[in-house]
Amino acid sequence: MAISHYLKDIGRGKEGARALNRAQAADLLGQVLDGTASDLEVGAFCIAMRIKGETPEEMAGFLDAVHDRLEMLPASHRTLVVLPSYNGARKLPVLTPLLALLLARQGLPVLVHGTATEDRRVGSQDVLAALGVEPLQELDAIAPGAVAFAPTALLLPGLARLLAVRRTLGLRNSAHSLVKLMDPLAPVAGGSLIVSSYTHPEYAESMAATITLMGTDALLLRGTEGEPVADPRRTPRMDGFRSGQPLRLQETQGGPLTTLPALPPGTDVAATAAYTRAVLGGELPVPPPIALQVEHILHMTEHIAT
């Protein structure tokens, strides 16, 4: 079954396009993920959704298609913290690995997943490898106190292919939002907490609406250059979701910055790994915004586990 009839609805421009319902969105993306849509149709889908923008119901349908096809991790004994890491470092060092290791130090199992979609940024995978955390070759339960990195292709090859379309078109597509909300854990035992981020304030509302529709346990914040870690220089707003129901966890830090953390210059992998080791070893302080994020995540996981 082709997706051309869906393209007629979503491809009429920002003003003329019609939104799909959840079931239609799931069917459309399912065909894209399964490889039954042609390359031309996939490109048209990516451009059409880029112009139209996804509704929360469409995003929920897209996530339904993803979750129906994901290779799920076995449940852990404690709540699994999921850190989607797809943006990487542009100007600031990527500190998602630091967040992951700080959470693991508190006894939580942590999954970082991602893939490189452009060559100019340093990704969490690179820094984690420098810290001794190699990408998973197969999926297994993550022990409490451990960090694992799963390449997107291991979780769902079709989703990795859709992310890679960026290299051809030069534009992000719906997959870049989907990966920040998907849950790769089998829905049993201790459950999971998705730590999701947005880059621009206008996405906060749409992502929150999608989380509510999905009934997800999540923490949502404006991340550092799109990564799910608090900006080490200024505390961002953080919102929690318990089974999709929102609660404000942290207000945005106001006023001028009086002190700045001793971050490594640039985005170099070795320097970022060395900084991460220094913070974990107590030689440098944990940046206060990241320390607050760790506290909020711990509190959220305690609620999920009860």
Task: Look at the chain and count its residues.
Answer: 306
Per-residue pLDDT of the chain (306 residues; tens, 9 = 90+): 689 999 999 988 878 889 999 999 999 999 999 999 999 999 999 999 999 999 999 999 999 999 999 999 888 788 999 999 998 888 889 999 999 999 999 999 999 999 987 777 889 999 999 999 999 999 999 999 999 999 999 999 999 999 999 988 888 899 999 999 999 985 655 589 999 999 888 889 999 999 999 999 999 999 998 899 999 998 999 999 999 999 999 998 877 665 678 898 888 999 999 999 999 999 999 999 999 999 999 999 987 755
pTM: 0.94
CATH superfamily of 4-69: Transferase, Pyrimidine Nucleoside Phosphorylase; Chain C (1.20.970.10)
Q: Report the C-alpha gap between 156 and 163 in whole angstroms.
A: 11
Backbone angles phi and psi of 186, in degrees to 5 = -60, 135
Residue written as tokens 């048209």? Answer: 44
Residue among 298, 117, 221, 116 nearest 125 (CA)? 116
282 contact partners, CB below 8 Å, separation of at least 6:
none
Kindly list the domain boundaries of the chain, sorted by start residue.
4-69, 80-305
Tokens of 75: 């449940």
The class level of CATH for 80-305 reads alpha beta
Cβ atoms within 10 Å, residue 265: 7
Return the biggest CA–CA distance within the chain.
59
Residue written as tokens 């799109």? Answer: 226
